[in-house]
Copies of this chain bind each other. A is one copy, B any other.
Amino acid sequence: MLVNGKHFKTVWSEGKHVKMIHQNLLPFDFKIHTCHNYVETAYAIRDMIVRGAGAIGCTAALAMAQAFIEHFPDWNQIDNARRFIESMRPTAQNLFYATKFVAENAQNHIDALELAQLICSQDSNASKAIGEYGAELILNNYSVATHCNAGWLAFTDYGTALAPIYEASRQGKKLKVFVDETRPRSQGARLTAWELYNEGIEHYIIADNATAFFMQKGNIDIMIVGADRIAANGDVANKIGTLEKAILARHFGIPFYVAAPKATFDIHCATGKDIPIEFRNQNEVLYATGPNEKNISETILLANPGSPALNPAFDVSPAELISGIITEVGIINADYQSINKLFKNV
């Protein structure tokens, strides 16, 4: 996608190095972060310099390729590297898909880099197809709600939840987007709003508390979110708050779609109960960072000094609350049979 008129992907390799848009600095600053080895690349995942299901997968694949470049043919070291990379974000299925794909198929370091790049181009192609299928759900003059950021920043290009919005907009449909700010890390207010602003799509940031208000008023026609992991039965792990929105959408009879490539499905995970949920540092809730009026970045305390916070990063929305899953091969039902068929057909 375009940033100030120049085409960028979220993450890519240059020789031995992995480069990525520094997403922790967005939307206030646009910089490229360079990782010189697999450990630095893994830390970029942990520190959320890169975040989002697909982008984590591509970055993990490229980190795996770096591990091959650094350690091949020492398979012990390569195996250690894989476990290290996989420990960075325990909920993200694309991460495990990517490390497995590279580690189990690469015969050597040249293979590894090619396989990692294949993951990246598959990600980009899948996002484009998701946009085309999903755009059919968005009618002219629709208001679309979304949570967190499942835009192109969360993948390598196009995105998942936002891809149908971009495609519908390109098709000339008039639409507007309600953007949940998505506390505690504000990926909606920061990243989704940044993407939509750059694409010139009408959008409004709302507090996470306000979604039901606008649903109750009939202001939201459809909600589309991304996914970090989808179990074999259609249960969806995604950013904390997704479960709330799925319940609200059901209450108000609003279609609630999940957009995700096949790489996000974990068919070895029977139900959402088997998905580990990452708890992150309480300071993400208690503090916020952003530029002050002099454009100097400041970190401020938001809460009562001394009060603790609990910070689950994801939740699991049960399959029965999901109207359908928009994949790169079409829109499917969120149930065991449909998901099973998706993987049997390959």
Contact = CB atoms under 8 A, between A and B. Distances in A.
Interface string A187-210: 001110110110000011111111
Nearest to A185: B207
Interface residues of A, number: 63
Interface of A is mostly: mixed
A337 B331 CA distance: 48
Contacts of A343: none
B207 A311 contact: yes
Contact of A209 (B179, B212, B244, B303): B244
Interface string A293-319: 100001111111111111110011000
Given A209-B244, A244-B211, A306 B197 contact: yes
B298 A300 contact: yes
Nearest to A308: B204
Interface stretch (A11-19, A93-101, A282-290): A282-290
Copies of the polypeptide in the assembly:
2
Interface in A76-126: none
A210 B307 contact: no
A197 B305 CA distance: 9
Nearest to A180: B209
Contact of A207 (B179, B183, B196, B290): B183
Contacts of A285: 181, 189, 205-207
A307 B183 CA distance: 17
Contacts of A179: 307
A206 B315 contact: no
Contacts of A182: 209
Q: Which of A182, A206, A213 has the most CB of B within 10 A?
A: A213
Contact of A301 (B183, B197, B207, B291): B291
B205 A286 contact: yes
> Which 4 interchain pairs have the tightest Cβ spacing?
A209-B241, A290-B300, A189-B303, A193-B304
Given A181-B183, A288-B288, 19 more contacts: A28-B305, A186-B303, A189-B302, A189-B309, A197-B307, A205-B308, A208-B241, A209-B239, A209-B240, A209-B241, A210-B240, A210-B312, A212-B244, A214-B310, A247-B248, A288-B302, A292-B301, A298-B298, A298-B300
